Amino acid sequence: MSFNTALSGLNAAQAELNVTANNISNVSTTGFKESRTEFADIFSTTSFGSSGTNIGNGVLLANVAQQFNQGNLEFTANTLDLAVSGEGFFILSPGENNDNAIFTRNGEFGVDNNGFVVSNAGARLQVFPVNADGTVTATSLSSTIPLQLPQTAGVPTVTSLVDIGVNLPASAGNLDPLAFDPLQPSTFNASTSLTVFDSLGESHVVTAYYVKVADNQWATYYNTTDSAGATLPIDITGGAVGAGGQLYHVTDFDNSGGYLSNTPDPIQTEAIDFLNGSDPNQIIGFNYANNGTTQFSSPFTVNVLNQNGFPIGRLTGVEISDTGVVRANFSNGQTTALGKIALARFQNSQGLAQIGNNSWEDTIDSGSPLAGEALTSSFGQIRSGALEVSNVDLTEQLVNLIAAQRNFQANAKSIETNNTITQAIINIR
């Protein structure tokens, strides 16, 4: 019996050595959680119970428990390196047609050839779908989708409205609006230009020319260029007939230099054909009201000059907030919310089943995964450009290694002593 007792001690010491060695080998593994050996004694009983003189029968390995305490954060220069400061796990989909979610604390993510954000094992990072402002539309585990980075910002946006705010110099001399010529600076008092976009995403420069026609009254002409670079006059619907039959609008100011009105109102162009295959019926509106348009005795100044069109964009970068909202930035100045990183937590994290590659699956012991957003409940905060390093304390593990070695030696000595006693009994004559 004593041989079996000592043998169980050897097996227990060997198990502790194995667990400690595994912890030490993963000291540099991102998101790794150390394990701890838990032992229980073996005590023989009968149907009549145990007596006060019963001796235990050794030890058994009761459990190898993972320790999910927080690891330190190590900061990097990669936006797609993610870390969770809290109890949450990243949710991954192992494959395109695999609905069985797996969970990880390893935030070393990259992009595959299809633009999906994946772990170093190829599993796709899951996010909650969001509205344009980044608010989540659904937070259930079944509603999560793979995070995919777009290659373009989609179709171009046609310019349909321009906001302009200018100060027109009250001291400027009056000019004849019928003598306007964009090639003769002496026929207008001031001008400003901006870039607009057609239905194909091609850019065009539109120039506004301001002509003072009377005290507190200005005429405005608009020109652009076609695909060949030739000057293309732009007519204002319902405007006054000006030089060469071009239609312009009139802006009136009060005696204090404040903006009064435009005629016509609203200001809209006739259909513009840029002669490049784009929509020949493009119409652009110009808004001067509430944009700081004035007529003061100071030089011509542009205060506001914005338009709502965009060309096709190229992905230039990705931003991930502390709440997990992923936004794509494009070369055309647009920003698109792609999703919000989904997190999961469990009633009993130690009940999760390890499946390798720093990943776990839920089990009956762990309970069903509870999906949620970062910075809610105890899911934690998401840190972009950071990784959670292994929570293994190397010094502690080396001490455990020495202790396990001593336990092994002590149990081996018990077997040696039992062997000596047995041999002495056999040698009795």
- Stretch 56-83: mean pLDDT, rounded? 91
Report the relative pairing of strands 285-287 and 161-167 from DSSP bridges: parallel
Percentage of residues in the chain having pLDDT higher than 70: 96
Quick count: other Cβ atoms within 10 Å of Cβ 367?
A: 15
If asked whether residues 398 and 321 sit together in one domain, one would say: no
If asked whether residues 77 and 63 sit together in one domain, one would say: no
pLDDT at 46 over 60: no
Report the relative pairing of strands 102-104 and 109-111 from DSSP bridges: unpaired
If asked whether residues 382 and 273 sit together in one domain, one would say: no
Predicted TM-score (pTM) of this structure: 0.75
If asked whether residues 295 and 321 sit together in one domain, one would say: no
Q: pLDDT digits over 83-127, tens only?
A: 999 999 999 998 765 568 999 999 999 999 999 999 999 999 999
If asked whether residues 170 and 295 sit together in one domain, one would say: yes
If asked whether residues 63 and 78 sit together in one domain, one would say: no
If asked whether residues 268 and 169 sit together in one domain, one would say: yes
Number of H helices, E strands in the chain: 2, 30
State residue 107's pLDDT score: 95
Domain count, the chain: 3
Q: pLDDT digits over 242-260, tens only?
A: 999 999 999 999 999 999 9
If asked whether residues 383 and 405 sit together in one domain, one would say: no
If asked whether residues 204 and 234 sit together in one domain, one would say: yes
Task: For residue 112, give its domain range.
Answer: 73-152+315-388
SS3 162: strand
Between CA 118 and CA 108 the distance in angstroms is 9
If asked whether residues 186 and 290 sit together in one domain, one would say: yes
If asked whether residues 172 and 301 sit together in one domain, one would say: yes
Q: Of 287, 307, 327, which residue is a domain's last? A: 307
- Write down the H helix ranges in 75-221: none
State residue 58's pLDDT score: 83
